[in-house]
Structure 1
Amino acid sequence: MLSHERVWASIDSLASRHGLSASGLARRSGLDATSFNKSKRLSPEGRQRWPSTESISKVLKATGSTLEDFLRLIEPSGSLRRSVIPMIGLEEAKSAEAFTDEGLPNKGPGWDEIEFPGFGQESVFALEITGDGLRPLYRDGDILIVSPTASTRRGDRIVVCTRGGQIFAHELRRRSATTLEMTSLTKSQEDVVIPAEEISWSARIMWARQ
């Protein structure tokens, strides 16, 4: 199960395997030395804080581990499943015909498939970045594993496509019945507020393969 406790325990296990403390692993990964401190894993109000997919990606690169290695630490019982999930390119994803009214893949022209470790009960698809539209955060050839069914809350990274064909990869600030407010992840982009009726589909970023 992809639980808060097991994800952090897996990061601690990776650190231990390489003779590092949590702080040492963070430094080797190019992150702030306090990023993985136990005090950072809960907010002052007791809310769970999760490591970002980008942080985990940097950890795997720094330790020479794969995503499957990491997921096997989360599920040590050997129950890790691999699934074939639909994949679509960034430009093709701008077409309303590529998705159902619920924002799920409407498999047909433009869709391909990719093998990836399972994400439990969530519906997921792969979004292949093409071009420089989401630079510098995501580059041409990167693959985002996203879920249109996963619950979202303030601070989650999401991808949103408007009915006009614009795609944003931002941080969720607030979602109401009438608008979606997002915070830019880079200095080169602006914060965005999108009326709900202008949203074609949206999905939470579960993983980034760069």
Structure 2
Amino acid sequence: MATLSHGEIWRAIDALAERFDMTPSAMARMAGLDPTSFNRSKRGSAETDGRARWPSTESLAKLLEATGVNFSEFAALTEQATFAPASARKAAPLIGLAEAGREGLFDEAGAPAGEGWDEIAAPDLGEGLFALEVTGDALAPVYRDGDRLLVSPTVEPRKGDRVVAKTSAGEILVRELGRVTARTIELTPLGGRGEERLLARDDVAWVGRIVWVSQ
């Protein structure tokens, strides 16, 4: 396995901050860390006698948990010289999470359809994206009232990813994807809070991966 360099690790952290339209300081606060944890001034400067300063494994673990990004995706960011700038935006359909279970809002693949959608400007992270606005505190502390979840119905979710799933009965679930088999899909509660759901594949209309959050 290739070893990640000091520069690659910090480049991936910066790319992640751009993906979430945040400063490194704001992203550190979101992860429950000291706001200066990812500051550029601490990566190797006069303050550290020019020595390279690496983020701790604990800091990285908290960062990935807070953003819902798994390590393989984070490692992929180290290979990118640049990431799509935060200024790159496209219109994405928006609807309240509480309304999303209404009939006719999605097609069979989980793409937005029908009427009742608003629009917001969102990062251009692929095709078919839509946004769900959280209301209330049912998903706290992971997601709070007013947060907007940008969901991709085309990106294949992997175990550990945060997802939005719609059941064939019309229920909308925001969970982490657990074990997936030929017959079942496991959905685990965010942050360990709530009930775990083991659903038959026939009972799941679609699963979309959460690729960005506006907090």
TM-score normalized with structure 1 length:
0.66
Which amino acid letter does the alignment assign opposite residue 42 of structure 2? G
Q: Give the Cα separation in 2 of the matches to 1:81 and 1:34.
A: 31
Q: Is the Cα contact below 8 Å between 1:86 and 1:113 reproduced in 2?
A: yes
Aligned pair count reads 168
Alignment root-mean-square deviation, CA = 3.2
Q: Is the 8 A contact 1:12 1:22 kept in 2?
A: no
1:96 maps to 103
Which ranges of structure 2 fall in alignment gaps of 5 or more residues?
16-23, 25-37, 44-52, 70-80
Instruction: Indicate yes or no: 2:201 matched with 1:196.
Output: yes
**In the alignment, is the contact (CA less than 8 A) between 2:104 and 2:114 conserved in 1?**
no
Partner of 2:93: 86
Identity of aligned residues (%): 37
Q: Relative to 1, partners in 2 of residues 1:145 and 1:7: Cα closer, same or farther, differing over 3 Å? A: farther
| Map of 1:54 onto structure 2 | 67
1:80/1:118 contact within 8 Å kept: no
- SS in structure 1 opposite 2:58? coil
Q: Which moved more, 1:85-94 or 1:190-199?
A: 190-199
State the match for 2:120 in structure 1. 114
Identify the residue that residue 44 of structure 1 maps to in structure 2: none
SS in 1 for 2:90: strand
What is the Cα deviation at residue 101 of structure 1? Answer: 1.1
**Structure 1, gaps ≥5 residues long:** 24-32, 41-49, 57-72
- The equivalent residue for 1:46 is none
**Partner amino acid, structure 2, of 1:201:** W
Q: Does structure 1 residue 182 correspond to structure 2 residue 190?
A: no
Alignment counterpart, residue 145 of structure 2, candidates 137, 140, 148: 140
1:93-144: per-residue Cα shift (whole Å, max 9, x none)? Answer: 11131001111000412x110001211x342111101223323322221111
Letter paired with 2:120: I
- Greater C-alpha Rg: 2
Aligned to 1:11: 13
Query: For residue 29 of structure 1, what is the aligned residue in structure 2?
Result: none
CA contact (8 A) 1:53 1:206 kept: no
Question: Counterparts of 1:16-95 in structure 2 under 5 Å?
Answer: 17-20=40-43, 21-23=53-55, 33-36=56-59, 51-52=64-65, 54=67, 74-75=82-83, 81-95=88-102
Match of 1:186, SS state, is helix
| Cα pair 2:150 2:210 within 8 Å, conserved | yes
Cα pair distance change 1:17/1:136, threshold 3 Å: closer
Partners in 2 of 1:116 and 1:193 — Cα distance?
Answer: 32
Give the 3-state SS of the residue equivalent to 2:13 in structure 1: helix
8 A contact 2:68–2:161 mirrored in 1: no
